[in-house]
């Protein structure tokens, strides 16, 4: 195998990561923390607090972070146990062809997030320095995409450099907020309920909490993957959302870009936002590339370049102006995918999967019934829709599969790739 081919396959986008190529928790911790540090989470923190007020807003934010930590832990444990990306895990549930549909959804959501975050950074640069917005969006998007093709090694280096800097600037910004001469925390406008605030907080990062598994699969043990996911989700989101809450509460600006400018810290805001967006967008493109690799069977290098260009187009399309609608979509469409995967891995197969190359079934209609049915349930907007979607998808999937196991055992065996449960231990590595 030549060096070029070896480089392309170095992130195991279509296979299990060998144990000898796993990494320590310390080596990956900066990637995990950087994963949750993105400017959209500042916006979501500000949006929730603007509606509920600081006290209720922060409570809703912290509850949503707790839920996201649980989702990230479940996803990460399964990925580290199997050594597979989240998209490859969907092959076991949706089938070897059916997996393409949820993978496309997850990948499309991620590269659209790339566009949103690139637009945030480009807007800041445009407002502070006066450069052409479209030109800045294109240059910034392509530069970030160029670094994303280097994979997990590049993510590690960028994390080492960016995370400490982001934390320092965030502390400086928070101190400046409290030292500024404003009239204290503004009350909430009552535009959402407390449960809606929690749901908004979950929906804002549900895709990230699910796909953090694409990085935590490199952990040496499932336990380390769980710890890494919890640290990454909790630390990253706590810093970003709390900063957003303080920003809207004190300055009236949910957008930290405008808040930094109002506080007379345009340079600090530039450093903060650029590094913030760069670390997040690198991981976003990385996961999106892995998901599309599962769809098209193309190595991650080439597909990452393609979606980087597509994400840059999204950045100049104005999607940033529809952030609220985007959160609502995420809150209903993505969690049921996680619910079906978790139900299949943890409850139906009891953490014992056949080797990837042994998969036989092409389609599992039960998984799609559970997914679409759960989306319908989540759209009722009672309680916390994101959680409702995840749990209901798991329940629907398990109930139908158990019925099939009794009523049509041959069909059940086909859907579970032709292996009886008693045989699984003999073929799982």
Segments of the chain scoring below 70 in pLDDT: 1-10, 39, 148-188, 249-266, 268-269, 299-300, 318-331, 418-429
**Class of the 16-335 domain?**
mainly alpha
Closest CA relative to residue 273, chosen from 259, 293, 287: 259
What are the CA-CA distances from residue 43 to residues 93, 179, 308 (Å)?
Answer: 34, 22, 23
- Cα separation, 150 vs 143, whole angstroms: 12
Per-residue pLDDT at 391: 94
- Cα separation, 376 vs 50, whole angstroms: 29
Per-residue pLDDT at 427: 42
Query: Torsion angle, CA of 387/392/393/399, rounded to 10 degrees?
Result: 150
User: Could you tell me if 25 and 228 are in contact, meaning their C-beta atoms sit under 8 angstroms apart?
Assistant: yes
Per-residue pLDDT at 226: 94
Per-residue pLDDT at 245: 80
Per-residue pLDDT at 257: 61
Residue 220 buriedness (CB in 10 A; 0-12 / 13-18 / 19+): middle
Beta-bridge mates of residue 219: 23
Q: Convert the pLDDT of each residue in 76-118 to its tens digit.
A: 999 999 999 898 999 999 999 999 999 888 887 777 777 777 8
Model's pTM, two decimal places?
Answer: 0.82
Q: Which residues of 401-427 are buried (b: 16+ CB within 10 A; e: fewer)?
A: beebbeeeeeebbbbbbebeeeebeee
Residue carrying the six token digits 């590339």: 289
């Amino acid at each position: 195998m030549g060096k070029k081919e070896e480089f392309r396959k170095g992130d195991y986008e279509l296979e299990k990561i060998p144990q000898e190529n796993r990494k320590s928790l310390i080596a990956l911790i900066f990637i995990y923390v950087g994963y949750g540090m993105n400017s959209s989470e500042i916006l979501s923190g500000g949006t929730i607090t603007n509606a509920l007020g600081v006290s209720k807003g922060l409570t809703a934010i912290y509850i949503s972070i707790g839920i996201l930590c649980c989702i990230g832990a479940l996803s990460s444990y399964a990925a580290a146990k199997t050594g597979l990306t989240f998209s490859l895990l969907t092959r076991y549930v949706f089938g070897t062809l059916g997996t393409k549909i949820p993978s496309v959804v997850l990948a499309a959501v991620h590269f659209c997030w790339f566009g949103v975050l690139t637009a945030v950074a480009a807007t800041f640069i445009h407002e502070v320095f006066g450069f052409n917005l479209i030109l800045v969006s294109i240059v910034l998007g392509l530069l970030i995409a160029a670094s994303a093709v280097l994979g997990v090694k590049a993510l590690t280096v960028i994390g080492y450099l960016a995370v400490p800097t982001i934390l320092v600037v965030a502390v400086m910004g928070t101190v400046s907020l409290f030292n500024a001469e404003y009239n204290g925390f503004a009350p909430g406008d009552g535009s959402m309920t407390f449960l809606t605030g929690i749901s908004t907080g979950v929906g804002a990062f549900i895709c990230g909490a699910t796909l953090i598994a694409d990085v935590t699969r490199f952990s040496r043990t499932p336990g380390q993957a769980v710890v890494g996911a919890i640290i990454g989700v909790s630390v990253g989101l706590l810093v970003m959302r709390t900063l957003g809450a303080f920003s809207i509460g004190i300055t009236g600006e949910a957008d930290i870009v405008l808040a930094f400018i109002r506080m007379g810290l345009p340079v600090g805001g530039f450093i903060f936002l650029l590094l913030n967006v760069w670390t997040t967008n690198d991981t976003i493109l990385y996961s999106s590339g892995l998901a599309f690799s599962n769809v098209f069977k193309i190595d991650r290098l080439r597909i990452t370049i393609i979606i980087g260009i597509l994400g840059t187009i999204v950045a100049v399309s104005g999607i940033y102006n529809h952030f609220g609608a985007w959160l609502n979509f995420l809150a209903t469409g993505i969690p049921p995918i996680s619910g079906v995967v978790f139900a299949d891995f943890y409850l139906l197969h009891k953490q014992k999967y056949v080797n990837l190359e042994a998969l036989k079934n092409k389609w599992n209609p039960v998984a799609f019934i559970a997914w679409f049915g759960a989306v319908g349930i989540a759209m009722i907007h009672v309680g916390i829709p994101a959680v409702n979607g995840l749990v209901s998808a798991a329940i629907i999937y398990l109930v139908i599969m158990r019925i099939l196991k009794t009523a049509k055992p041959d069909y059940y065996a086909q859907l579970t790739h032709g292996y009886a449960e008693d045989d699984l231990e003999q073929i799982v590595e």
